[in-house]
Every structure is written in C-alpha cells, then in structure tokens.
Amino acid sequence: SQCSAILSFSFQQRIEIHKLRQGDNLILGFSIGGGIDQDPTQNPFSEDKTDKGIYVTRVTEGGPAEVAGLQIGDKIMQVNGWDMTMVTHDQARKRLTKRNEEVVRLLVTRQSLQKAVQQSMMS
C-alpha cells in the first residue's frame, strides 16, 4: 500500500478549465458524483467501493471540461487548492461553482494512468 500511495501521488494530472458563460451562469461542462454523505457502493467509477471521493460522472461534449482534458471517471482530488477527498456532495458543488472564479484548476487522478504505471513498475 505504501507503493500505491506513492504512485497515486505522482500520477495525478492537473487540469485547468475555463468556465463558459451561459446567460447568467458559469458552467464547467461536467457532472460530479460522490461525497462523504453519499453511498460509495453505487459509484461505478471507483475501484475501491468505500471511496467517498468526488468523481466525474459525465462530461458534456464540446464543453470546457472536455476541451481541458477532463475524462469521465476521473477522481477530483483538489479544486483550486481546496481538498475534495473529504467533502460532502454539496460542498463539492459549491467549490466548483463559485461565481467570482472564471478558471478552476483541478488535480485529478485516473485509474487508467495508475494501472499503466503499476504494470510498468511490476515488469
């Protein structure tokens, strides 16, 4: 587990999303699921079914998130420096949709990345 902790720390991706203005709202173009107040067993993207982190469940086509490189199934670790691994669903939503921020910088981790590195480390 020590090995995997090091791996997940190293293989995270930083994604910068520029919000798109639609009428009165600033949208990012993806949907989130998860949170410490949610049921982690129903999360289809998490590898560990007790993981209560925030995951990306949908990415709108052509939206700012897709343009920035966010993929479905990503786990959001930080948003603009704020930790997202132990927040409620609503707190996560609030942190992403602050009205005065035009750019959000996400730190995400991806299973496909982790697995690829693990395999290359093993061989």
Partner 1 sequence: MSTAMDTESTYSGYSHYSGHSKKAHRQGRDRHKSPRSKDGSRSEKSVTIQTPPAEPLLGNDASRAEEGQDDNWGETTTAITGTSEHSISQEDIARISKDLEDSVGLDCKRYLGLTVAAVLGLLVFLTPIAFILLPQILWRDDLEPCGTVCEGLFISVAFKLLILLIGTWALFFRQPKADMPRVFVFRALLLVLIFLFVFSYWLFYGVRILDSKDTNYQGIVQYAVSLVDALLFIHYLAIVLLELRQLQPMFTVKVVRSTDGESRYYSLGHLSIQRAALVVLENYYKDFTVYNPALLTASKSRAAKHMAGLKVYNVDGPGNNASGQSRAMIAAAARRRDSSHNELYYEEADHERRVKKRRARLVVAVEEAFTHIKRLQAEEQQKAPGEMMDPREAAQAIFPSMARALQKYLRTTRQQQYHSMESILQHLSFCITNNMTPKAFLERYLNPGPTLQYDRDRWFSKQWTLVSEEAVTSGLQDGIVFVLKCLDFSLVVNVKKIPFIKLSEEFIDPKSHKFVLRLQSETSV
| Least Å from the CB of residue 69 to partner 1 | 16
Closer by beta carbon to partner 1, 81 or else 122: 81
For residue 96, state whether it binds partner 1 (rule: CB under 8 A).
Answer: yes
Stretch that binds partner 1, among 5-13, 90-98, 105-113, 114-122 (CB under 8 A): 90-98
Token pair, residue 115, equals 């697995």
Query: Which member of 12, 30, 68, 109 binds partner 1 (CB under 8 A)?
Result: 30
When asked if residue 52 is in the footprint of partner 1 (CB under 8 A), the reply is no
**Which positions ≥6 away from 30 have C-beta within 8 Å?**
56, 57, 58, 59, 60, 63, 65, 66, 70
Which is it for strands 103-109 and 82-83: parallel, antiparallel or unpaired? unpaired
| Spatial distance between the Cα atoms of 67 and 56, rounded to a whole number of angstroms | 15
For position 84 contacting partner 1 by CB under 8 A, the verdict is no
Which residues, in sequence order, are bridge partners of residue 16? 105
Residue where the block lists tokens 């786990």? 75
Given 3-state DSSP classes, what are the helix, strand and coil percentages for the chain, each rounded to the nearest 5? 30, 30, 40
- Pick out residues in 58-77 that bind partner 1 (CB under 8 A): 58, 60
- Would you count residue 115 as binding partner 1 (CB under 8 A)? no
18 binds partner 1 (CB under 8 A): no
Q: Can you give the binding site for partner 1, defined by CB under 8 A? A: 27-28, 30-35, 37-39, 42-43, 57-58, 60, 89, 93, 96-97
